[in-house]
Chains A and B, each alone.
Chain A
Amino acid sequence: MAKNEPRDELLNHDFDGIQEYDNQLPGWWKNLFYLTIVFAVIYLLYFHVFSVGDLQKVSYLKDIDPDYVPSPQDQEGAVFDAYRAPVYAASEQRTPFDRAQANAEAYERFEQNMLEAMRNADAAQLARLQEDFPAIFEAYTAQGGRLPAGVAAAEAEAATISEPITDAAILAGAKDLFGQHCATCHGDAGQGGIGPNLTDEYWLHGAKIANVVRVIQKGIPAKGMIAWEKTLSPDEINAMASFVLVELQGSNPPNPKAPEGDKVSE
């Protein structure tokens, strides 16, 4: 369109010798502007009016758990509550917000039924329910529900070891990890510092391999021991606990920290 129009027509403007043309706005520039406005409208409709797009809480929960089904309270902030509430209060009954809530209530009833079914199921049924409804099954186990036969045994086996590992290569690897993660508080030779001495026979939280594994996994938050289960893999934690019991115990390093806890001798 701009092609046929006269270009570079000088206006009768003169500011300290600066003149002005009155050229048409470049077509691509105008289209870009329109396009961004359309984008803005669609974006707001997508996330806040029709609630198609996931807002941050829902997208976070989906990232944590691929089976997650959004519930209305997780969509908080989806609508322009601040603007809409006073204006459209009368038609509140028909807003998508209420429909979503109804859906969620239905889902919740369904979930309750399934939990009840899981509690009453035999091992084979339970395994099938787990396969079909993993999210609900997780809620079921979180409430202390029993696991299908076989699965429980396998998980228990993977989680702990009953005896310390003595493999030299694994212990050497654990020694490196100890230097990286543990030495700042427990001393480079395990002699203690901010944290307790790991080389003496005194224990605050139990001297068995399972006790040590648990302390490393979950930490002792009240005293500043960090939970390592998000940093170290289960194998690394097993190796680390073994390193403490096999290598550090009885190593008598210089400058030991005074004993804490109860004496345990085996």
Chain B
Amino acid sequence: MEVEKFRYDNQIVRLFFFATVFWGIIGFIAGLTAALELPFPWVNFSAATTFGRLRPVHTNAVIFAFVGNGIFLGYYYSIQRLLKTRNYSDLLSRIHFWGWQLIIVAAAITLFAGFTTSKEYAELEWPIDIAIAVIWVVWGWNMIGTILRRRERHMYVAIWFYISTFVTVAVLHIVNSFEIPVTFMKSYSLYAGVQDALVQWWYGHNAVAFFLTTPYLGLMYYFVPKAANRPIYSYKLSIIHFWALIFIYIWAGPHHLLYSATPEWAQSLGTVFSIMLIAPSWGGMLNGLLTLRGAWDTVRKDPVLKFLVVAITAYGMATFEGPMLSIKGVNALSHFTDWTIAHVHVGALGWNGFLTFGMIYWVVPRLWKTKLYSIKLANWHFWIGTLGILFYVIPMYWSGITQGLMWKQFTPDGLLQYPNFLETVLQLIPMHIMRAIGGTLYIIGAVMMIYNLFKTARAGSFMADEEAEAPPLRAQIEHDDKTYWGHRWLESRPIRFTILAVVAILIGSAIGNLPMFVVESNIPTIASVKPYTPLELEGRDIYIREGCVGCHSQLIRPFRNETERYGTYSKAGEYVYDHPFLWGSKRTGPDLWRVGRKYPDAWHYNHMYDPTSMSPGSIMPPYPWHIENDLDYSNIEAKISALRSIGVPYPEGYEQQARADLRKQAEGIAQGLDAAGIRTAWNKEIIALTAYLQRLGTDIRAD
């Protein structure tokens, strides 16, 4: 058989390696800083670095910058070798790399500056959303091109996972990012309230599934058998768990919304599909761990395998815990607490982090044609990192369960045992300090890795283009007179495979989301619920800008303890004008949905200036700049028109009255404050924010 010579592009792998390590450290430090802000509020020293803005910087940096670059590093290394070809286009690879880095830089700048849509893991504003879609398609184009140019007849299981990642993330990102632009860096979600919540958590959950899980399973399927030098345990299992995983995963999003104002059929689908997800997820874990049969001896000595084994184990634990948290009874306790934070960090630190480290320790010596500088140092990294994970997650489980129980505790007289929310927050401070120590250990390990890899690269010489050879596909097909059927047949038909994967993920997406748009009865409307006034709208945009949703939910669940603490539980119809919804996913502070008219305006004024003045011991950062900053309402007309165009019933021509109405309401509040002894101009941010807070949840009040 004739043989063709070609060269693998290692340069693109090296670029993504640098980016992974660089953004990894940035993302970890952002996380550590955010962690320190809870026990030590002075760490929130400026507007840009308050917890509300820093949290999305951390989550975006870790997910899209660290793990994202990690995906592409492993992808570019493995796909060329699995398909015996160079990438389809070096230019597309470079555009992909630099485009992705530019997006990350733009994300960091805009998030620190307060430009955010507030939808979790989709916070970036619309111009960046478009850039992400373009760059994502560049990657997919390059991938499909590479697959079509392959010299390997069948696609290996890793590639199935890469394909499903590409198509699903494209669908998720585009659908969830539908928003109506107001200005260059401001938009409103096309969806409102309950719809927005369902679309967002269909996206949010599957960002975990198809950004943090499927591509990493692909990497696992390449690097585990390579590093262990053992065959994959079961091809059958690969097929079953791959299709089951991508088909079932997409349905499970509403488990983020149990006991909420979403329709219960959606909640129940979330629960049962999460439970059915245990076996497909564990299929990946089994295929990873059982591949190591006969290689456990090596695991003892080889740091690469150690990292991979802990990563796969963490994956197994997190994918068992996830379904458990989707059971109503467990979720009733865990939701809105640190338990969720512990859960995601088992995945992020254990599965994604350790798999990345293992992969890097394996790839770098091969790129630089040398041996790892120090196995001992890598082993140290492994142990310090593992200790870091334990120090992180155990206190967070403790903290989550403690707070969940405290919220629910009643006295024998039937009163809340801890009516002051703050009491349940201050109880957690020792746990929050411990998790910061865990995070520090994890970072120390990563720094040791960087030193080790730096020394490794220095000792070797980088091989930009690696020689390889293989017979062309045509010759293989002629040579191979076997006819294939079933899945084996499909593996040699990449376009049909891709279409089938799209169908698999669209079924759950459609059934889970469409009824919310086409069936009216799912969101009962409430006549007394009215759109926000112009001033309240500006206040809401400040609330969004500051990332208040990072610590405060706006969703009262139908539990006795919640209605006692906050007031009547949330109804779907109350949120019909909420573009975007602001339910939140974590209560570091109390729920705010019924805070409207609970306190006087002066309370909010003083509280925003210094939270500890109204709530002694509060860990909320002070926001004195809201008292000084002039309210920028120059786009109020555009905001009103934009919202009307997506269904908020502002009367035609209301734009012309918006400014006058805004001023009138603001002056009223300023006069009220004046009567309480606080002198302030009407055109300050605090006035708009107060107007919004005083409106929250009051539409269905009887008085």
Asked if A25 and B560 sit within 8 Å, CB to CB, the answer is no
* B143 interface residue (CB < 8 Å to A): no
Rounded to whole Å, the gap between the CB of A42 and the closest CB of chain B is: 9
The reply to whether B235 and A184 contact each other, CB–CB distance below 8 Å, is no
Chain A residues closer than 8 Å to B286, beta-carbon distance: 26, 29
Interface-lining segment among B167-175, B275-283, B335-343:
B275-283
Q: Please determine whether A24 and B234 come into contact, CB atoms closer than 8 angstroms.
A: yes
* Bound: A24/B287 CA distance, A: 11
A43 at the interface (CB under 8 A from B): yes
CB pair B599 A224 closer than 8 Å: yes
Name the segment of A56-64, A110-118, A120-128 touching the other chain: A56-64
**Minimal Cβ-Cβ distance residue in B for A79:** B265
Q: Does A223 count as interface, using CB distance less than 8 angstroms?
A: yes
A33/B272 contact (C-beta < 8 A), A60-B569, A230-B416, A233-B415 known: no
The distance from the CB of A118 to the nearest CB of chain B, in whole angstroms, is 25
CA distance A77 to B521 in the complex (A): 9
Do B232 and A19 touch (CB < 8 A)? yes
Say if the beta carbon of B649 comes within 8 Å of chain A. no
Residue tally, chain B, CB below 8 Å to A: 70
Interface hit among A80-88, A94-102, A150-158:
A80-88
CB-based contact A81/B521 at 8 Å:
yes
Interface size on A, residues (CB 8 A): 58
User: Is A226 an interface residue, CB under 8 A from the partner?
Assistant: yes
Query: Is there contact, CB below 8 Å, between A29 and B282?
Result: yes
Chain B residues whose C-beta falls within 8 Å of the C-beta of A83 in the assembled complex: 265, 515
Asked if B559 contacts A194 (CB within 8 A), the reply is: no
B599–A44 CB distance below 8 A: no
A237 to chain B, nearest CB (A): 11
Q: Contact at B522–A82, with CB atoms within 8 Å?
A: yes
CB distance from B516 to the nearest CB of A (A): 8
Q: Is the interface of B mostly helix, strand, loop or mixed?
A: helix
B81 within 8 Å of A (CB atoms): yes
Pair A223/B600 contact, Cβ less than 8 Å: yes
Of all chain A residues, the one with the shortest Cβ separation from B234 is A23
Q: Cβ of B368 < 8 Å from any Cβ of A?
A: no
* CB nearest to B258 among chain A residues: A56
Contacts A224-B598, A231-B416: A194 and B275 contacting too (C-beta < 8 A)?
no
What residue of chain A has the Cβ atom nearest to residue B237's Cβ?
Answer: A25
Give the shortest distance, in Å, between A202 (CB) and chain B (any CB): 16
**Interface stretch (choices B13-21, B397-405, B611-619, B679-687):** B611-619
- Would you give the 0/1 interface string for B121-145, flagging 1 where the beta carbon is closer than 8 Å to chain A? 0000000000000000000000000
Convert A27-52 into 0s and 1s, putting 1 for each residue whose CB lies closer than 8 angstroms to a CB of B: 00110110011011001100110000
Q: Are A32 and B279 in contact (CB under 8 A)?
A: yes
* Nearest Cβ on chain B to A260's Cβ, whole angstroms: 10
Q: Is the Cβ of A224 less than 8 Å from the Cβ of B600?
A: yes
* Chain A residue nearest in CB terms to B470: A16
B293: nearest chain-A partner, CB-CB: A8
Taking a contact as CB atoms under 8 Å apart, the answer to whether A40 and B240 are in contact is no
User: B196 an interface residue at 8 Å Cβ cutoff?
Assistant: no
User: Does chain A have a CB within 8 A of B466?
Assistant: no
CB distance from A41 to the nearest CB of B (A): 8
Given contacts A19-B232, A194-B602, A223-B600, contact A184 B273 (CB under 8 A): no
Interface 0/1 of B276-300, CB less than 8 Å to A: 1011101100100010000000000
Q: Are A56 and B264 in contact (CB under 8 A)?
A: yes
B285 vs chain A, min Cβ distance (A): 10
Contact B237 A43 (CB under 8 A): no
Q: Which residues of A contact B278 (CB under 8 A)?
A: 32, 36
Please, how many angstroms separate the alpha-carbon atoms of A78 and B263 in the complex? 9
CB distance from A235 to the nearest CB of B (A): 9
CB distance from B354 to the nearest CB of A (A): 21
Q: How far, in Å, is B503 (CB) from chain A's closest CB? A: 20
A107 at interface (Cβ–Cβ under 8 A)? no
Contacts of B237-276 to chain A: CB distance below 8 A: 237-238, 240, 244, 259, 263-265, 268, 271-273, 275-276
- In the bound assembly, the distance between CA atoms of A77 and B563 in angstroms comes to 21
- B236 A23 Cβ-Cβ under 8 A: yes
Q: Which B-chain residue is minimally distant from A226 (CB atoms)?
A: B598
Residues of A near B599 (CB, < 8 A) are 224, 226
Pair B240/A20 contact, Cβ less than 8 Å = no
Tell me whether A22 and B235 are in contact in the complex, defined as CB-CB below 8 angstroms, given that A15-B152, A40-B272, A224-B599 are known contacts.
yes
Chain A residues lying within 8 Å of B41, measured Cβ to Cβ, are none
Is B530 close to A, CB under 8 A?
no
Q: Scan residues 600-639 of chain B and give those whose CB is less than 8 A from a CB of chain A.
A: 600-603, 606, 613-616
A5 to chain B, nearest CB (A): 12
A64 with B276: CB separation less than 8 A: no
Would B237 and A23 count as touching, CB distance under 8 A?
yes
- The reply to whether A18 and B156 contact each other, CB–CB distance below 8 Å, is yes
Complex contact B614–A184 (CB within 8 A): yes
Contacts of A221 in B (CB 8 A): 597-598, 703
Q: Is A246 an interface residue (CB 8 A)?
A: no
- Which of B419, B519, B600 interacts with A230 by CB under 8 Å? B419
Q: Point out which of B152, B265, B598, B600 has the most chain A C-beta atoms below 10 A from its C-beta.
A: B265
- CA–CA, A29 to B280, complex, Å? 9
The answer to whether A60 and B559 touch across the interface, beta carbons within 8 angstroms, is: yes
Q: How far is the CB of A245 from chain B (nearest CB, A)?
A: 23
* Residues of chain B with a CB closer than 8 A to A3's CB: none
**Is the C-beta of A21 less than 8 angstroms from some C-beta in chain B?**
yes
- A208–B61 Cα distance when bound, in Å, is 61
* A168 CA / B603 CA spacing, docked (Å): 32
Interface residues of B in 514-530 (CB under 8 A from A): 515, 519, 521-522, 524
Q: Is the C-beta of A144 less than 8 angstroms from some C-beta in chain B?
A: no
In the complex, what distance in Å separates the CA atom of A10 from the CA atom of B238?
15
**Cβ–Cβ < 8 Å partners of B152 in chain A:** 15
A23 to B600, CA, bound (A): 69
Closest residue of chain B to A236 (Cβ to Cβ) is B415
B355 to chain A, nearest CB (A): 17
- The answer to the question of A13 belonging to the interface, with a C-beta cut-off of 8 Å to chain B, is yes
The verdict on A11 contacting chain B, using a C-beta distance below 8 Å, is yes
B265 touches A231 (CB 8 A): no
Nearest residue (CB) in A for B522 is A82
A-B CB contact pairs (8 Å), 5 listed: A16-B78, A20-B234, A24-B234, A40-B275, A81-B522
Q: Which residues of A contact B (CB under 8 A)?
A: 8, 10-11, 13, 15-26, 29-30, 32-33, 36-37, 39-40, 43-44, 47-48, 55-57, 59-60, 63-64, 76-83, 180, 184-185, 194-195, 221-224, 226, 230-233, 257
Which 10 pairs show the lowest CB-CB distances between chains A and B? A224-B600, A33-B279, A40-B272, A82-B515, A19-B231, A60-B558, A15-B156, A23-B234, A231-B419, A16-B81
